Amino acid sequence: MVLEYIVSKASEENFVTVVGGYWLMPPPSSKVRRLAIQSGDCKRGSGTDSMNLSHVRSLTMFGDLSQLPSNSFKFGIVQVLDLQGCKGFKQHHTKELCNMLLIKYLSLRKTDINKLPKKIGKLQYLETLDIRETNVTKLPRSVCQLERVANILGGNKRTRKALKLPAEDVKKTIKSPWGKEATKESGGKKTMKTLRILSGIEIVGESTEEGDFHHLTDLRKLAIYKLNVRRGDKPFENLISSIEYLGGYSLHTLIIDDVSSEFLESLGDLSSPPKFLKSLELSGKLVELPRWITQLEELTKLTLSVTVLRTDNLRSISQLKKLFSLTFSLSGSKPDPQSTAILEENKNYSDGEILVPAGGFENLKLLRFSAPLLPLLSFQEKAMPSLERLELRFRIFEGLFGMQNLEILKEVHLRVNYRAGEVTKSIVQNVATQVKKEATKSVATEANKENVASATNKEGTEFIIENVTLEANEATAAMKEATTSTVENVATEGNKENVTTDTNKENVATAEKKEVKGPIIIVDQYYD
């Protein structure tokens, strides 16, 4: 209802024109500037034939590209083209894209495009290129001609499919009219100095120029989904030097998935760590944390391999005062022998379990674990005092203790692989039951506190009344003082018992009406 009103109002104001789908909008009386075409009835899609589309600046498509107007890619002034999730991408669509010379934003995310056209370098005003979750695995060299491009988004974070950058600058030997030879650069990635986001790339050591990003001084996010370089190689040294150099500029987000973990281990040797990072993700068979991680005072989001999960490492991470989200993850549907061995060794540091220490983690609200195998976890008293949400995703789970020590925990989400064994399923059931018991126990404790406080108040009141009565009777019935006191004491004790019993009943009834305190438990399955 609300959405329908918003769309209707937007159409009236000529802010956006919606065609197809569930919307039956009257044709615009003026020029169409922002057009959204939704899949559905093909007859509705033909409604664009009667529209003046020569002034369209923004075009968003949902569904199949076969429903696009025949001249959609020929709009000379389109600046925003969003085709996310569209299917039916043909070769002629790819060629026509290169004629949209004023385009600034191009999203081909989740489409079935396989290759970017070589002439994409003609789009001199392009600022954002989004080709995430597509089959595009390599950028053409002409991308380096995009002088205004600020955001290049590629690869697939879930599958770690990565995007290969253009090769290094190529120098050609040419002859001058006087017969002298000279060299001329044919262009390369070092021309893209305006980049702010470079995400989903791979560095595999195929050229000596790989990993060199010193010229990208405006870079805010660098996400490497596939890294496979060796110590001593030029790309290895380039990347180490680049991270150290860019860390002193505007680099706020760093994501590295290292195949061998050799590079991750060397990060601890940085003489000048990236102190301005707000988000850091290090994936691989990492065991030791970089020594400088406690110096990242601005860090709010941290993702690490589950292989680094160890009590002493948790104690170091707990010093990060602004940390809001902490994730331990490991890719794969089942535990590999190397990761299993590392986790077993980590547990030996603290008597067969991973202890979450008390103190620190002042602002941590979200804690996630996502791995085929999760070791036994135990939260000590006063551990993670601000934690509100706990998520665990696993196939094999060894147990969870100390949940009652997470004082303000609101939600626990247990996601179990559909191929999990009976032992793991039994542990999950026990954890859920234990959390519910702790919640009930918490309510009972609160009720007992109320009982004691109420009974104490009433006892005090009766004691005062009793003393006043004795003092009033003392002048006129001194001889009966002992007997009266005895009778009053007996009556008072009886009244106290009755009052206490009534109070207990009232508070128990009140406690039953209260909602059970404690976290919400959500248990579900996931598929690979």
Specify the higher pLDDT residue, 134 or 72.
134
In a domain, 186, yes or no: no
What pLDDT, on the 0 to 100 scale, is given for residue 472? 39
The domain in which residue 292 lies consists of 155-166+191-299
pLDDT in the model for residue 176: 46
pLDDT of residue 72: 60
Burial of 501 (C-beta count, 10 Å sphere; 0-12/13-18/19+): exposed
Residue 220 lies in a domain: yes
- Compute the distance between CA of residue 67 and CA of residue 87 in angstroms, rounded to an integer: 11
d(CA 110, CA 201): 17
Distance CA 124, CA 414 (A): 48
Please, what sign has the CA dihedral across residues 23, 27, 30, 36? positive
- What is the three-class DSSP state of 499? helix
Question: Residue 216's Cα: distance from chain center in Å?
Answer: 26
Secondary structure of 192-261 in the HEC alphabet?
A: CCCCCEEEEEEECCCCCCCCCCCCCCCCCEEEEEEECCCCCCHHHHHHHHHHHHHCCCCCCEEEEEECCC
Average pLDDT over residues 465-481: 41
Strand partners, 183: 173
pLDDT-derived band of residue 192, with 50, 70 and 90 as boundaries? confident
Asked, for residue 485, whether it belongs to a domain, the answer is no
Q: Does the residue 176 lie in any domain? A: no
Sheet holding 377-379, edge to edge: 354-356, 377-379, 400-401
Q: Reduce the DSSP state of residue 356 to 3 states and report it.
A: strand
Domain boundary residue among 299, 317, 339?
299
pLDDT in tens, 344-363: 888 888 788 899 999 999 99
Does an H or E element contain 344, and which?
Answer: helix 337-348
Domain count, the chain: 3
Q: Are residues 284 and 377 in the same domain?
A: no
Q: Which residues of 205-226 are buried (b: 16+ CB within 10 A; e: fewer)?
A: beeebbbbbebbeebbbbbbbb
The helix/strand/coil state of 46 is helix
Claim to verify: residue 350 and residue 246 sit in the same structural domain: no
**Same-domain check for residues 334 and 277:** no
Question: At which residue do the structure tokens 């290049």 appear?
Answer: 152
- On whether both 197 and 339 belong to a single domain, the answer is no
24 has a pLDDT exceeding 70: no
What one-character-per-residue DSSP string does 441-478 give?
HHHHHHHHHHHHHHHHHHHHHHHHHHHHHHHHHHTT-G
Q: Is residue 467 part of a domain?
A: no
Examine the fold and report which residue of 282, 299, 316 is the final residue of a domain before the chain moves on: 299
β-pair type (171-175, 181-185): antiparallel
Given pLDDT bands bounded at 50, 70 and 90, which one contains residue 528? Answer: confident
Q: The tokens 């996400």 sit on which residue?
A: 223
Say if 312 falls within a structural domain. Answer: no
pLDDT at position 205: 86
Please indicate, yes or no, whether residues 290 and 388 belong to a single structural domain of this protein.
Answer: no
Pair 522, 396 in one domain:
yes
Q: Decide if pLDDT at 403 tops 50.
A: yes
